[in-house]
Chain A
Amino acid sequence: VRERTPAGRGPRTLGSIPEYRGLLSWISSVDHKQIGLMYLATGLVFFLAAATLAMMMRTQLIRPENHWLPPHTYNEIFTMHGTTMIFLVAMPILIGFAMYLVPLMIGARDMAFPRLNALGYWLFFFSGLMLFFSFFARSSPAAGWFAYAPLTEKTWSPSQGMDYWALALLANGAGTVMAGVNLIVTIVKLRVPGMSIRRAPLFIWMVLINGILIVLALPALNAALVMLLADRQLHALFFEPRGGASALLWQNYFWFFGHPEVYILVLPAFGIISEVIPVFARKIIYGYAFLAASTVAIGFLSFAVWIHHMFATGLGFPVYYVFAAASMLIAVPTGVKIFNWIATMWGGSLHFTTSMLFATAFLIQFTVGGLSGVAFAAVPFDWQVTDSYFVVAHLHYVLFGGTMFAIFAGFYYWFPKMTGRRLSERLGRLHFWLAVVGFNTTFFGMHILGLLGMPRRVFTYLPLPHYAELNLISTLGAYVLFISILIFFVNMVVSLRRGEPAGDNPWYAWTLEWATASPPAPDNFERVPPVRSRRPLWDLEHPDDPDWRRELEAAGRQT
């Protein structure tokens, strides 16, 4: 395959593309690659902010009855940490990967709606500024990221913090819906001829289902935010029990959005893992059809599980039976994926680049988070440990040990494509090992703290037996994790300037994004290679053993 990266004139980088020079070219851009990169960069800046907030929380909790942070400040910090990580870090970074990669992976020139794409990004950008402006206005939200009414009503939260929160998330949610619509239409309409949906890379499958989840789930949150604002500003009575409204109504709206949201944060991560593992195992993905179909199943089931966040609210048993059953069921398609990734590695030639290291740790850590999730589906166990530190452990195993580790794998994998330079593997390994040790030290002990009766969202705790040691260990682990994140940032900054030039296809990967220059020209492809199977570049390299023949044979065996 001919290298498209021109030799002899210095390495190709973002700076060597004339169209990308100058700040104005970025601010005014409707190019999906620039917008994707801006999503990623903005998400990373907020990640550093949210991680700093987490360090403040862990420092406050380093010993029992610590007086460093006043209670209200601590509550503002954990609210901002959760809200930021969900809405300004994990979701935008995953959307950023999708915006950057979807047109490249399907052989398209851009997204279906480039201007809508830009609007979505800028709504996200300004929603983040508005949320963080609340710190400078000295009134940050302090009701937790799920903001249960009536605590969020003006009577109990009289400062403007909740207004900043609701307005910021409303702008953010509108932007996210735009991204979702754009991704769906792009994937459905703009695939290169030859790429039937059954030949689309699994990342595309995951992003497509994700887009559908976004479009169906986010409006529930947006509607609830409008009602909350109406309550606070216009004295409406949606969530104010003293006016006869139901305190449970908010929870239904919120978790109707909130549980699909968990899958919105996890499916694209599954997509990243489904691209990274085959390439570094040098094998075709195992059980493509099952991986795709299980994603569809997760998509459906994710709308039938929200009540499991409300098992302790004393609703009737029939409701619990239905939602407990669905919550148990959703573990099955998720487990299928884990086994398929393991089977993809089986018999392969495993190359443990930093990206593959993160993907491998993802498999184990996500399994821990998934298993504790099944435990919560067993209603009586939920009755004991929900809202305790056990939940904090569970959700971080899913969203940090899972999603964030997949995001790291994605950065090490696609950074060369995006910038023309590789990330340093030496710093990458240091980042990885400190992250694994730091993450597990921080969060594993929280399972035990929860079982020992420590509630979540407390600014301090009694010096009961084991509490001090377990919290100290957790805080020290958090510092190690923070150092690993700083190393990741150093790696990005250093590699952006001095990283090893990547070439078109440093990993010898097989999907279309690697069939163009790194970074790609503004119009993406000179010529899209023919697509006759799931791995067009494999077919080009191995005309004697093409995938399309293998797929035909497999289909023949089944019929």
Chain B
Amino acid sequence: VNLPSVLSPESPQAQAVLSLFWLILAIAGFIFLTVTGLVITNIVRFRRREPIAGHPRQFVGDVRLEIIWTVVPLLIVTGLFLVAIHAMRTIQPPVQGRQPDLEVTAHQWWWEGHYPASGVVTANEFHLPIQQTLLLRFRSGDVIHDWWVPQLGRKIDIFPNRFTHLWMKIEKAGTYLGTCDEFCGSEHAWMRIRVVAESPADHEAWLARQKQPAAPPATAEAGQGAGIFLSHTCVSCHTVAGMSTGTVGPNLTHVGSRQTLAAGALENNARNAARWVQDAQSIKPDCHMPSMWLSDEEAQQVAAYLEGLK
């Protein structure tokens, strides 16, 4: 897992922003040093320690100097504006009717992903192929959210009633962290994104696995868990392909194959899954998943079932 840093881009889009940033930093650094240098020179040369009395020569200004320090900054910002426009066009060319490779729906406080070409549905963790220019399309199921995976490019706001888009071409395989970046309510902090970038072949294999129906319970414990899952209200919100069709919460058909639970709040393992189904509200207060108040044994059985859904 990489640090989600703007300074270590892994896509041409993020690289374009970083190059712009270095330019801005150089200009800003120069201006900052000029201003600070002048202020310090003032302090050193003109400081007086005696009581206020007497006065230095009074002068009201110099129009030529004023024009210089109006025009020079004007030229600087004009240049910066042109560079910025150029970068905008590189990062966000028009969509022009192209179909998205991934459709993301943001919810309070999790992410739903849909791959239109294969029909695969996933949550919070998005597998994408490297070295391909991808178009992502976003829409919100409730309030305004924002997609931000700093190493892979720009962020984009997500609205309930209009689509937004972004382009990315991932250079290198790896896991990239991101987050919701527009305040969206109580659990805004735990609305994390993971992008798993892999070679096109690995990606095809992953898609093929995700298209499989849910794995049947492999152990007696998991079988018990499947029974509990079916007999409780789990099914009204969650889909497990072949068993249930709820769409309020994340699709769990392959939940066992994911790295985290609860949009990045927990590492995905049997112990955490048991805690989560038992008392989600204490782990992620105000989230839309109720605490199910199962016994420890029941919770472990459900966890065994879910972890088996690879």
Contact = CB atoms under 8 A, between A and B. Distances in A.
B83 to A, nearest CB: 8
A343 B178 CA distance: 46
A144 interface: yes
Contact of B91 (A246, A247, A383, A466): A383
Given A328-B81, A342-B39, A345-B42, A554 B28 contact: no
B206 interface: no
Contact of A320 (B14, B36, B88): B88
A364 B38 CA distance: 10
Contacts of A127: none
Contacts of B81: 324-325, 328, 377-378
Interface string A232-251: 00000000011010111000
B31 interface: yes
A538 B148 CA distance: 58
Given A148-B144, A287-B66, A312 B52 contact: no
Contacts of A346: 38, 42, 46
B24 to A, nearest CB: 5
Q: Which of A143, A387, A388, A459 has the most CB of B within 10 A?
A: A387
Q: Which of B43, B61, B89, B164 has the most CB of A within 10 A?
A: B61
A380 B188 contact: no
B143 to A, nearest CB: 4
B58 A284 contact: yes
A302 B21 CA distance: 24
B150 interface: yes
Nearest to B164: A314
Contacts of B195: none
A426 to B, nearest CB: 16
Nearest to B143: A151
A324 B84 contact: yes
Q: Main secondary structure on chain B at its contact with chain A?
A: mixed
Interface in B176-212: 177-189, 192
A453 B148 contact: yes
Contacts of B155: 312, 383-384, 386-387
A360 B39 contact: yes
Interface stretch (A104-112, A265-273, A366-374, A517-525): A366-374
A387 B158 CA distance: 14
Given A246-B161, A350-B48, A342 B66 contact: no
A24 interface: no
A223 interface: no
A239 B78 CA distance: 37
Contact of A364 (B39, B92, B182): B39
A156 B188 CA distance: 13
B42 to A, nearest CB: 4
Interface string A460-492: 111011100000000000000000000000000
A385 B3 CA distance: 15
A161 interface: no
B76 to A, nearest CB: 9
Contacts of A68: none
Interface stretch (A69-77, A118-126, A182-190, A400-408): A69-77
B91 A380 contact: yes
Contacts of B5: 451-453
Contact of B61 (A289, A381, A451, A465): A289
A150 B78 CA distance: 37
Contact of A374 (B54, B70, B80): B80
B180 to A, nearest CB: 7
B144 A71 contact: no
Contact of A331 (B32, B77, B286): B77
Contacts of B189: 71, 455, 458-461
A288 B52 CA distance: 23
Interface in B1-38: 3-7, 14, 16-17, 20-21, 24, 28, 31-32, 35-36, 38
Contacts of A350: 42-43, 46-48
A132 interface: no
A381 B21 contact: yes
A378 B20 contact: yes
B270 to A, nearest CB: 21
Contact of B66 (A282, A290, A321, A324): A290
Interface string B98-117: 00000000001000000000
A499 interface: no
Nearest to A390: B6
Contact of A317 (B28, B65, B73, B88): B88
Given A375-B24, A460-B189, A150 B144 contact: yes
B32 A345 contact: no
Given A321-B85, A328-B77, A342-B38, A457 B24 contact: no
A338 interface: yes
A144 B42 CA distance: 41
Given A72-B186, A156-B142, A550-B58, A332 B74 contact: yes
B4 A464 contact: yes
Interface string A375-419: 101111101111110000000000000000000000000000000
B160 A453 contact: no
A286 B35 CA distance: 16
Nearest to A339: B69
Given A377-B81, A387-B182, A508-B52, 15 more contacts: A71-B285, A75-B186, A142-B185, A324-B81, A328-B77, A348-B42, A374-B80, A378-B81, A380-B17, A383-B17, A383-B154, A451-B5, A456-B183, A460-B189, A508-B53
Q: Which 3 pairs of residues, A with B, have the shortest CB-CB distance?
A: A453-B4, A458-B189, A383-B154
22 contacts: A72-B186, A150-B160, A281-B46, A288-B60, A312-B146, A336-B66, A338-B35, A343-B61, A345-B42, A345-B46, A348-B46, A360-B39, A374-B80, A381-B24, A383-B156, A384-B6, A387-B146, A388-B148, A451-B7, A458-B189, A462-B177, A547-B58
